[in-house]
Structure 1
């Protein structure tokens, strides 16, 4: 059985769309919604929602996605955990595709994320595939055995309580534990990335800072090069991106903000 773990914070309309998309999906599954500091009536609405599948509600007090996901994993009854945020709307066959991916042990299955046309090139998470790296395993559309999740200690909600960093941190530990990362094209979902355009630069800066903290946590240069935060690379980015970012289109502003966040975090720690 799959346990779908959905952290949510004040996005009731998106959450409703997600749950509606899960109605009628084939396969044995439960859904665990972790309402993290919600003040928009999400909890009351969920208590009345007539779900056509097993639905469980947990509440946490605004402690962030990493903590909320860990809390959902603790009570999950499924052998497989499927992490998927409230702004990720699954397409038909999503559950079944993730279930088929776990024939082999220690599999981390990453589904395909699609962006609405208006968010193309914005920096919001999209994985067209089929090339897959360990850092592509995010809380948007990723499943793995509960036993493997527990083996590596789950999400680090201490170092990564805010935005960013918790996903590659978990994925790095999964890689070190011998996990097999597979891309599951059939497990498609639309990443609505709610209000991303209005917050993209702030998110990029926070992500850069979080990834620099991740590099410092493990002191592994492979992390820094993979996530684009190695000090040598940052010097090049900070030197050339202000003049060349227009060549990258909308992505250029995102990359510069990301580099700034990483550079500021690097300077703070020196």
Structure 2
């Protein structure tokens, strides 16, 4: 398959598809500023007809109505693997107002002030990507209270990039590790909400306002948002998005709470389904209560999963996280297959390390079941599927994942590593 064009279709205004039907495409559907869904289509499936577009609007619109209606207790509670627990009834549908009017109401862009938000971006030797990220952060409809770039390079080379943006504060943290950098950003922040994104991300112009709107609900203490692909030009980008699942495909809001953990922890709670570290935010008070990111995890340390381990810890302490897809970012996936293979290995190694850390902290044997039961089954199923479907490039990334799994098993044999815990947020060195 050649380059897969990423296109955005507003179903509130689009009546005919302008696609020529000469190439495959990846379509993201919106209703004004409300993201609705996405699908990859072969060239022969395009362009979409008017009836198809109306059908998409009806199906996606009904899902939004079902998941955002206060009469149904929205947002819906997440069940196993992060799927929504449906609550829509035929009676409610029959009594619902006109779907178009309701979608227009739901799609109203947030106007909330983001002045109480500290945006933290951690970076390491990716100046061009950082510049694009900062251009999108500084162009938000609702400006953040502060923007902090934590430079995790040895020489603090991102300072010259930050100087182009007067609103940005540069913090140099030479100790390697994404969790170390994120913790430095938290300590440097001075506002009640700390929002994280990555240097390979560009933000939707309404991102900060949507984060602020979500946190206007006093019960929300953590937030994860929707991560869409920025481009799907290369085989590596397409494999990550289409074969490996990207950063998730859910377009309806979900609530992950202690009940989600209790129902799933015997078999290994799938907390990574909550979202991705490229689009997340927390009340600062949460770090006072449960601690900071675990510095054994994340890029530059065990590999990744510092975000999912924090969510696991939060749920285990009775907290809750709202997944709100109205907070949208666009991620630039790895362009080349060697980079993707390295990422796949790192992700799986970090995933296993996080499972070990979660087992040590809370004694939930479902984490071990995930390591020794679910993951080998996943490897086998993925291998057979790739064999039957002839997925180009997938065997190489699967091999990298298996290598990461094997590398992650070492953490079971490191008692000193296993006794460590996440650092605490102290008043000393804090930005406030």
TM bucket, shorter chain: 0.7 to 0.9
| Cα pair 2:123 2:130 within 8 Å, conserved | yes
In structure 2, the CA distance between the partners of 1:223 and 1:120, relative to structure 1 (3 Å rule), is farther
Which runs of 5 or more structure 2 residues have no equivalent in the other structure? Answer: 1-115, 257-270, 414-432
| Cα pair 2:131 2:161 within 8 Å, conserved | no
- Secondary structure (helix, strand or coil) at the match of 2:291 reads coil
- Pick the aligned partner of 1:87 from 193, 200, 221: 200
In structure 2, the CA distance between the partners of 1:50 and 1:178, relative to structure 1 (3 Å rule), is same
- Secondary structure (helix, strand or coil) at the match of 1:117 reads coil
- Secondary structure (helix, strand or coil) at the match of 1:231 reads helix
Q: Distance in 1 between matches of 2:316 and 2:276?
A: 16
Q: Distance in 1 between matches of 2:279 and 2:147?
A: 14
Deviation at 1:251, TM superposition (A): 4.8
Q: Distance in 1 between matches of 2:336 and 2:211?
A: 27
- Secondary structure (helix, strand or coil) at the match of 1:101 reads helix
1:2 aligns with 2:104: no
1:222 aligns with 2:337: no
Matches within 5 A, 1:176-215: 176-195=316-335, 197-215=337-355
| Cα pair 2:309 2:358 within 8 Å, conserved | no
Q: What does residue 32 of structure 1 align with?
A: 148
Q: Distance in 2 between matches of 1:151 and 1:248?
A: 49
Under a length normalisation based on structure 2, what TM-score does the superposition of the two structures give?
0.55
Residues 24-59 of structure 1 show CA distances to partners (whole Å, capped at 9, x for unaligned) of 31335211000101558422332x3133xx321100
Greater mean alpha carbon deviation, residues 2-11 or residues 254-263? 254-263
Q: Distance in 1 between matches of 2:249 and 2:153?
A: 33
| Cα pair 2:136 2:203 within 8 Å, conserved | yes
Q: Distance in 1 between matches of 2:182 and 2:228?
A: 22
Residues 214-255 of structure 1 show CA distances to partners (whole Å, capped at 9, x for unaligned) of 222232243456xxx431234434555544433383555434
Under a length normalisation based on structure 1, what TM-score does the superposition of the two structures give?
0.85
1:56 aligns with 2:169: yes
- Pick the aligned partner of 1:117 from 228, 232, 248: 232
C-alpha RMSD of the superposition: 2.6
Q: What does residue 154 of structure 1 align with?
A: 292
Higher relative contact order (CA 8 A, sep 6+): 1
| Cα pair 1:112 1:141 within 8 Å, conserved | yes
| Cα pair 1:245 1:256 within 8 Å, conserved | no
- Secondary structure (helix, strand or coil) at the match of 2:159 reads helix
- Pick the aligned partner of 1:127 from 248, 257, 278: 248
- Secondary structure (helix, strand or coil) at the match of 1:158 reads coil
In structure 2, the CA distance between the partners of 1:15 and 1:238, relative to structure 1 (3 Å rule), is closer
| Cα pair 2:150 2:171 within 8 Å, conserved | yes
Q: Distance in 1 between matches of 2:332 and 2:251?
A: 21
Deviation at 1:4, TM superposition (A): 0.6
In structure 2, the CA distance between the partners of 1:242 and 1:121, relative to structure 1 (3 Å rule), is closer
- Pick the aligned partner of 2:374 from 223, 233, 251: 233
- Secondary structure (helix, strand or coil) at the match of 1:230 reads helix
Residues 140-160 of structure 1 show CA distances to partners (whole Å, capped at 9, x for unaligned) of 000110111232111011355
Higher Rg of the two aligned structures: 2
Residues 63-88 of structure 1 show CA distances to partners (whole Å, capped at 9, x for unaligned) of 11110000010011111110111011
Q: What does residue 107 of structure 1 align with?
A: 221
The total of aligned residue pairs comes to: 264
| Cα pair 1:242 1:256 within 8 Å, conserved | no
- Secondary structure (helix, strand or coil) at the match of 2:404 reads helix
Q: Distance in 2 between matches of 1:73 and 1:198?
A: 33
Greater mean alpha carbon deviation, residues 34-43 or residues 70-79? 34-43
